[in-house]
Amino acid sequence: MSRRAELLAIYRSLLAAFGPQRWWPARTPFEVCVGAILTQNTAWTHVERAIANLRRERVLGPRKLRRLAPRRLAGLLRPAGYFNVKERRLRAFLDLIHERHGGSIRRLLRQEPVRLREELLGVKGIGKETADSMVLYAAGAPRFVVDAYTHRVLCRHGLAAPGDGYDAVQALFEDALPREARLYNEYHALLVHLGKDYCRSRRPRCESCPLAWHPHEGTT
């Protein structure tokens, strides 16, 4: 079976089992970007609380958020963990919007995708996964997002090696699959859903897993 066929088979299995995920779980492109930074090495439920804080305080926009004093912002981010680090990272992102795009998230996002990605990677605290999450889920451009789950899944299938880096894993998907944002969006969302439900438990439900293996087994 070709790599393309294997990747599509995995995708179809997940889609059949879980149904369309319709990601990213956010109301606006800006909220996607904020969530992408806050969810770094952090459970999504914690991120939701931090976002809820921002919404409650009516500061969930690039200009209003930027006007907050660092202490205040960090306090609102507290439930997401690493709140001091994330305050700086979020602020650096807001500075980019302010300084290079007149405070307009739309202007940031409607750039050519390659250029957008480069610009995001230039921000301290935005790495490849975070940048690609924004490019795919906020700007709608076809960049495959690679996370820990994704890597484990590919290893378990013998499609990637444990030592493979981000770029290598990403290239596997992007070289084998049609470059469609719709597909990349849904595929990544399904992988995360699989990870949440089937990887975390110490006693995984092998019977109910839509794939015939578990991504957490002996591959990290």
142 binds DNA (CB under 7 A): no
Q: Which of 12, 55, 71, 124 binds DNA (CB under 7 A)?
A: 124
* Binding residue (CB under 7 A) for DNA from 147, 156, 169, 198: 147
31 binds DNA (CB under 7 A): no
Q: Which is nearer to DNA, 63 or 183 (CB)?
A: 183
Contact 192, 186 (CB under 8 A): no
199 in contact with DNA (CB under 7 A): yes
C-beta of 65 vs 190, nearer to DNA: 190
Q: Which of residues 67-106 bind DNA (CB under 7 A)?
A: 78-79, 81-86
Burial label, 131 (beta-carbon count in 10 A; 0-12, 13-18, 19+) = buried
Q: Least distance (Å) from DNA to the CB of residue 91?
A: 13
Return the number of the residue (17 or 168) whose C-beta is nearest DNA: 168
Shortest Å distance, C-beta 138 to DNA: 10
Please identify, among the stretches 65-73, 95-103, 172-180, 189-197, the one whose residues bind DNA according to the rule CB under 7 A.
Answer: 189-197
* Distances 37 to 63, 131, 134, 146, 165 between C-alpha atoms, Å: 17, 9, 9, 15, 20
Verify binding: residue 11, DNA, rule CB under 7 A.
no
CB closer to DNA, 5 vs 217: 217
- Binds DNA by CB under 7 A, chosen from 1, 2, 22, 41: 41
Q: What is the C-alpha separation between 97 and 174, in angstroms, rounded?
A: 28
196 binds DNA (CB under 7 A): yes
> Residues in the chain, how many?
220
Binding site for DNA (CB under 7 A): 23-25, 35-36, 39-46, 49, 78-79, 81-86, 123-131, 133, 137, 147-149, 163, 165, 192, 195-196, 199-200
